[in-house]
A and B are shown apart, each in its own frame.
Chain A
Amino acid sequence: MRFPLKNLSRGLKAKLPKLKVEKRPYPSLRTKILWPVLSILIALGIGAILIAAAGVNPLTGYYHLFHGALGDAHAISETLWRFTPLLLTGTAVALAFRCKFWNIGVEGQMLTGATVATFFGVSFIGTSSWLLIPLVIISGFLAGALWAVIPAILKAKFKVDEVVTTLLGNWIILYFVAYLVEGPWRNPTSLWPESPAIAGSAVFPRLVPLYRVHIGFIIAIFFAILFFIILRKTVWGFQIKATGANPRAASFMGIKVTRVLITVAILSGGIAGIAGVSELCGTHFHMKGLGFFGGTGELSWGYGYAGIFIAMLGGLNAIGVPVAAFFMAVMIQGSRAMYRATGVPSPFYYAMQGTILVCLLLGIFLTYYRIRKVKG
Chain B
Amino acid sequence: MEILTYAFFITFLAMTFRMATPVLLGTLGEAFAERSGVLNLGIEGTMLMGASTGFIVTYFIGDLWLGIFAAAFIGMAMGLLMAFLSVTLGAQQHVAGLGITFLGTGLSFFLYRLFVAPAGGVPPTIVPFRPIEIPGLSGIPVLGPTIFTQPALVYLALILVPIVGFIFYRTTLGLNLTAVGQNPKAADTAGINVFRTRYLCLLIAGALAGIAGAWFSMAQSSQFLPGMTMGRGWVCVALVIFANWSPYRILGGALLFGGIDALQTTFAALGVAFPYRILQMFPYIFTIVILVAVARRATYPAALLQPYRREG
Whether chains A and B associate is yes
Contact across chains for B237 and A163 when beta carbons are under 8 A apart? yes
Contact across chains for B102 and A158 when beta carbons are under 8 A apart? no
Bound together, the chains give a CA A172 to CA B281 distance in angstroms of 5
Contacts of B296 in A (CB 8 A): 158-159
Contacts of A308 in B (CB 8 A): 95, 98
Q: Could you say which of B100, B226, B280 contacts A354, with CB atoms under 8 Å apart?
A: B100
The segment out of A176-184, A219-227, A237-245, A264-272 that lies at the interface is A176-184
| Interface status of A312 (Cβ within 8 A of chain B) | yes
Contact across chains for B285 and A354 when beta carbons are under 8 A apart? no
Residue of B nearest to A290 (CB): B277
| Interface status of A305 (Cβ within 8 A of chain B) | yes
Contacts of A352 in B (CB 8 A): 106
| Interface status of B121 (Cβ within 8 A of chain A) | no
Contact across chains for A158 and B106 when beta carbons are under 8 A apart? no
Per DSSP, chain B at the interface is helix
Contacts of A354 in B (CB 8 A): 45, 99-107
Q: Could you say which of A178, A294, A347, A357 contacts B113, with CB atoms under 8 Å apart?
A: A347
Q: Could you say which of A54, A168, A176 contacts B234, with CB atoms under 8 Å apart?
A: A168
Per DSSP, chain A at the interface is helix
Residue of B nearest to A180 (CB): B277
Contact across chains for A357 and B226 when beta carbons are under 8 A apart? no
Contact across chains for A176 and B103 when beta carbons are under 8 A apart? no
Contact across chains for A165 and B291 when beta carbons are under 8 A apart? yes
Which residues, 104 to 118 on B, are CB-close (under 8 Å) to A?
104-107, 109-110, 113-114
Interface positions of B (Cβ within 8 A of A): 39, 41, 45, 81, 85, 89-92, 94-96, 98-107, 109-110, 113-114, 225-228, 230-231, 234, 237-238, 241, 275, 277-278, 280-281, 284-285, 287-288, 291-292, 295-296, 298
Interface positions of A (Cβ within 8 A of B): 50, 53-54, 102, 104, 154, 158-161, 163-165, 167-169, 171-172, 175-176, 178-179, 182-183, 293-295, 305, 308-309, 312, 345, 347-355, 357-358, 361-362, 364-365
Other than the given A165-B291, A345-B109, A364-B91, 10 more pairs (CB < 8 A) read: A54-B114, A163-B237, A168-B238, A309-B98, A312-B95, A347-B107, A348-B106, A348-B110, A350-B106, A353-B102
